[in-house]
Structure 1
Amino acid sequence: MIKNFLMNLLLAGIWIALTGSLFYTNFLFGFMMGFLILWIMNRNETDQRYFYRVPKIIGFAFYFLYEILKANVQVAFDVITPKYFFKPGIVKYPMAAKTDFEITLLTTMISLTPGTLIVDISDDKKTIYIHVMYLSDPDAFVRQTQTGLERRLLAILR
Structure 2
Amino acid sequence: MKAFGWNMMLALAWMVLSGTYTISNLFAGMIMSYVVLAYVLRDRPLFGTYFGKLPKLVNFILFFIWDLIKANARVAYDVLTPTHLMKPAVIAVPLDLKTDGAITVFSNLITVTPGSLALDVSTDKKVLYVHIMYFEDEELHVAELKRLEAMVIDLLG
What TM-score, normalized to structure 1?
0.87
Residue of structure 2 in register with 1:100 after alignment: 100
Map of 1:139-158 to 2, 5 A cutoff?
A: 139-147=139-147, 149-158=148-157
Residue of structure 2 in register with 1:71 after alignment: 71
Where structure 2 has 5 or more consecutive residues not aligned to the other structure, the ranges are: none
Q: Which amino acid aligns with 2:153?
A: L
2:37 maps to 1:38: yes
Alpha-carbon distance between aligned partners in 2 of 1:28 and 1:69, rounded to the nearest angstrom:
27
How far off its partner does 1:137 sit? 0.8
How far off its partner does 1:27 sit? 5.0
Alpha-carbon distance between aligned partners in 2 of 1:74 and 1:34, rounded to the nearest angstrom:
41
How far off its partner does 1:54 sit? 1.3
How far off its partner does 1:93 sit? 0.5
Residue of structure 1 in register with 2:130 after alignment: 130
Map of 1:18-97 to 2, 5 A cutoff?
A: 18=18, 20=20, 22=22, 24=24, 27-47=26-46, 48-97=48-97
What TM-score, normalized to structure 2?
0.88
Alpha carbon RMSD of aligned pairs, Å?
2.0
How far off its partner does 1:138 sit? 1.1
Alpha-carbon distance between aligned partners in 1 of 2:108 and 2:102, rounded to the nearest angstrom:
10
The alignment covers a number of residue pairs equal to: 155
> Runs (4+) of structure 1 moved beyond 3 Å?
9-17, 19-24, 26-30
How far off its partner does 1:101 sit? 1.4
Superimposed CA distance per residue, residues 57-103 of structure 1 (whole angstroms, 9 cap, x where no aligned partner): 11111111111111111111111111111111100110110111111
Superimposed CA distance per residue, residues 100-137 of structure 1 (whole angstroms, 9 cap, x where no aligned partner): 11111111111111111111110110001100111111
% same residue: 34
Alpha-carbon distance between aligned partners in 2 of 1:9 and 1:65, rounded to the nearest angstrom:
27
Residue of structure 2 in register with 1:11 after alignment: 10
Alpha-carbon distance between aligned partners in 2 of 1:70 and 1:137, rounded to the nearest angstrom:
17
Alpha-carbon distance between aligned partners in 1 of 2:114 and 2:12, rounded to the nearest angstrom:
36
For the residue of structure 2 that corresponds to 1:131, the secondary structure is strand
Alpha-carbon distance between aligned partners in 2 of 1:20 and 1:77, rounded to the nearest angstrom:
47
